[in-house]
């Protein structure tokens, strides 16, 4: 059992495929080469989609966006959830949402400032994007607790970063999960930075994974750029949680190649040399090397993959940009279940003003 064998308190970490694509055969999980290839292709689309979002923001076609560049293998963990499981994301989860089946155009539309982009997530058992750092682990514990109380075998996997582990609500969630033995899998993508503040300033603990011990369940630290380690740890964690063996914490060590969001400049707080040092650990490079060694990847084929990715991403952008803007009166709906008269009056007031200004936003 990986969670026992790789004890974070002993400083152990799980790595199966190294940066050069070499696999530790003793640890090789039951992941076929075809499946690995498929994951590689999806992760390539994810990377292009992510870079496209960043570019769209630079061109003024999208709002603030939190890129996942460098974290593609960790984000791909979402592919290892069952249909009946729940995915509870933070704001840096475009890749995880994409892997879960949320449409790229919907994700774009959300970051273009329209909540309606995420309509449909409920069918995928995905919770809304959480922007407050560290608030959502409690929701994951609650939803998985409900599954347990209702006798439904379903796990909630919750995503957050290293910064979130300093929030009280993260610890409250870990504690409740331990006490009520909820089927929750905590996924910490430790990308080394909370905006500009490095991981060592978040905690004096040697690892984030070891924090699980304090709450009476198991944690593991893995190399989050290694898709095989991600798969193996997820498989065990999800099955442990599902079978009532307890919640699990997976710390995925990764590295944010890009900025925190489109609103910051990482060169202010991070050495170019450090970034360069981390580049060879790119989750896609090792997959290319691995697949090429198995005769399943070539440069010509990469062009095909990228052409298809480009078509998919461009289509998503076009759909997102052609989505009709929401009706102004939509502001007044969905805050409350029932219409209330004073709010209705405010809606009428705004609509009357709109008529006077011939449809232009009164503040524009």
Partner 1 sequence: MPKLNIVSAINLALDREMGKNDKVVIIGEDVGREGGVFRVTDGLQEKYGPERVIDTPLSEGGITGTALGLAVGGMLPVAEIQFEGFMYLALDQIANQMARYRSRSRGQYPINLVLRLPWGGGIRAPEHHSDSPEAVLVNTPGITVVQPSNPYDAKGLMTAALRYGDPIIYCEPKRIYRAIKAEVPDEDYEVPIGKAAVAREGTDLTIVAWGAMMREAMKAAEELSADGASAEVIDLRTISPMDSDTIIDSVKKTGRLLVTHEAPRTGGIGAEIAVRVYGEAFTSLLAPIERVTGYDAVMPLFKLEDYYLPNAKKIIAGARKILRY
* Active-site residue, selected from the candidate residues 28, 35, 58, 269: 269
Residue whose structure tokens are 């460098």 = 70
**Residue 171 among the catalytic residues:** no
Q: Of the two residues 32 and 335, which places its CB atom closer to partner 1 in the complex?
A: 335
Q: Of the listed pieces 98-106, 120-128, 298-306, 312-320, which binds partner 1 according to CB under 8 A?
A: 120-128
Q: Of the two residues 11 and 120, which places its CB atom closer to partner 1 in the complex?
A: 120
**Other C-beta atoms within 10 Å of 150: how many?**
8
**Residue 204 among the catalytic residues:** no
Exposed, middle or buried, 284 (CB in 10 Å: 0-12/13-18/19+)?
A: middle
Q: Are strands 156-161 and 197-198 parallel, antiparallel or unpaired?
A: unpaired
Q: Of the two residues 149 and 352, which places its CB atom closer to partner 1 in the complex?
A: 149
Written as six digits, the tokens of 224 are 């989050």
263 near partner 1, judged by CB under 8 A: no
- Rounded CA-CA distance 95/104 in Å is 9
Q: How far is the CB of 191 from partner 1 (least distance, A)?
A: 23
151 near partner 1, judged by CB under 8 A: no
Let me know how long the chain is.
364
* Active-site residue, selected from the candidate residues 42, 109, 139, 260: 260
Three-state secondary structure call for residue 193: strand
Written as six digits, the tokens of 281 are 């650990």
234 near partner 1, judged by CB under 8 A: no
Residue whose structure tokens are 């995915």 = 87
Q: Of the two residues 117 and 258, which places its CB atom closer to partner 1 in the complex?
A: 117
The answer to whether the beta carbons of residues 318 and 56 sit under 8 Å apart is no
Binding residues for partner 1, rule: CB under 8 A, are 86, 115-116, 118-119, 121-122, 127-129, 132, 135, 138-147, 149-150, 156, 168-169, 172-173, 175-176, 179-180, 333-338, 340-343
Q: Which residues does the annotation mark as catalytic?
A: 256, 260, 269
């Amino acid at each position: 059992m990986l969670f026992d064998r790789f004890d974070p308190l002993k400083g152990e970490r799980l790595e199966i495929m190294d940066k050069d694509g070499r696999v530790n055969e003793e640890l090789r999980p039951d992941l076929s080469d075809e499946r690995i290839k498929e994951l590689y292709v999806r992760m390539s689309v994810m990377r292009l989609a992510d870079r496209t979002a960043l570019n769209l923001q630079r061109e003024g076609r999208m709002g603030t966006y939190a890129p996942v560049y460098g974290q593609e293998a960790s984000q791909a963990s979402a592919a290892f959830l069952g249909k009946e499981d729940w995915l509870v994301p933070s704001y840096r989860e475009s890749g995880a949402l994409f892997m879960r089946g949320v449409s790229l155009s919907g994700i774009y539309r959300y970051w273009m400032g329209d909540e309606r982009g995420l309509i449909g997530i409920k069918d995928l058992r995905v919770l809304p994007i959480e922007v407050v750092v560290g608030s959502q682990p409690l929701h994951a514990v609650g939803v998985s607790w409900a599954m347990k109380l209702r006798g439904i075998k379903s796990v909630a996997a919750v995503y957050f970063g290293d910064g979130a582990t300093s929030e009280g609500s993260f610890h409250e969630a870990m504690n409740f999960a331990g006490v009520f033995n909820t089927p929750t899998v905590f996924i910490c993508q430790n990308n080394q930075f909370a905006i500009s503040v490095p991981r060592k300033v978040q905690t004096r603990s040697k690892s984030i994974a070891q924090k699980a011990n304090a709450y009476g369940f198991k944690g593991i630290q893995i190399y989050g750029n290694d898709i095989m380690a991600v798969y193996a740890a997820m498989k065990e964690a999800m099955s442990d949680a599902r079978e009532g063996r307890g919640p699990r914490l997976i710390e995925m060590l990764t590295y944010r190649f890009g900025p925190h969001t489109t609103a910051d400049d990482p060169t202010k707080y991070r050495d170019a040399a450090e970034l360069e040092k981390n580049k060879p650990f790119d989750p896609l490079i090792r997959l290319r090397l691995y697949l090429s060694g198995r005769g399943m990847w070539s440069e010509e084929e990469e062009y095909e993959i990228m052409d298809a990715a480009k078509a998919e991403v461009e289509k998503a952008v076009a759909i997102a940009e052609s989505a009709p803007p929401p009706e102004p009166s939509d502001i007044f709906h969905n805050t409350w279940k029932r219409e209330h008269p004073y709010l209705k009056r405010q809606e009428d007031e705004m609509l009357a003003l709109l008529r006077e200004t011939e449809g232009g936003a009164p503040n524009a």
